[in-house]
A = this chain, B = another copy of it.
Amino acid sequence: MQLARKRIIAAAIELIEADGVEAISMQRLATELGCGLMSLYNYVPSRNALLDGVADEIMSGVAWTYMPGASSQDQMRALGGALRQIASAHPRCAMLAASRRGGSLLRPAETMLATLQGAGFSGPDAVRIVRAFATYILGLLVCEVGVAPDDGDSAVSRLRPAQFPQLAELRLDLRASDVEGDLEFALDLLARATTASAS
């Protein structure tokens, strides 16, 4: 089979999602693709470039539609949903894209800024809000990715109740990682707060 760049990146995405960014290596990718190690370098100049390619591929997978009609809250919500969709489909790659801050994050930022300015926020305020929003999404991703390998015997599950009474009591709430709900909650916070502060 032809060893195109697309195929390499697709394999990399699958590998990363399965075993984490740490686990990926050029050698492993090569054996996975059934080719020699060095063949990869004909399509990708380095491991770093490969990861950039993965980030771009992941982020380009969602339409960042600008919706002129909707309210700014609805638009932010839609954008959050789009980001959430990426994070849900490829959490580890999304985290990778976020931490590499290449060009792949420009389009979503652009759309959000347009949305918020269209809603009457000043430029600097719009930047602030986008940043708070992006920051939160990033944190969500870290949580989701970071929790995954733990799987059951996390620090929370084996804590001493006497030492941490609150954590022990709320153990079940803490353990349930309801990312969808968290996002909804944060979007409500943001919507309420930005509405209240818009003069």
Contact = CB atoms under 8 A, between A and B. Distances in A.
Interface string A150-180: 1000111001000011110110011000000
A159 B109 CA distance: 13
Counting from the closest, the 9 A-B pairs by CB-CB distance are: A135-B139, A139-B139, A113-B166, A138-B139, A127-B173, A189-B193, A110-B164, A103-B155, A193-B193
Interface stretch (A4-12, A32-40, A72-80, A140-148): A140-148
**What size tier do the contact residues of chain A reach?**
35 or more
B135 A140 contact: yes
Interface string A99-141: 1111101110110011001000001101110011011111110
18 contacts: A98-B146, A101-B146, A106-B155, A106-B164, A109-B164, A110-B165, A110-B166, A126-B170, A131-B143, A132-B136, A132-B182, A132-B186, A135-B182, A138-B142, A139-B140, A139-B142, A188-B193, A192-B192
Q: Is chain A's interface secondary structure helix, strand, loop, or mixed overall?
A: helix
A142 to B, nearest CB: 5
A182 B139 contact: no
Interface of A: 98-103, 105-107, 109-110, 113-114, 117, 123-124, 126-128, 131-132, 134-140, 142-143, 146-147, 150, 154-156, 159, 164-167, 169-170, 173-174, 182, 185-186, 188-190, 192-194, 196-197
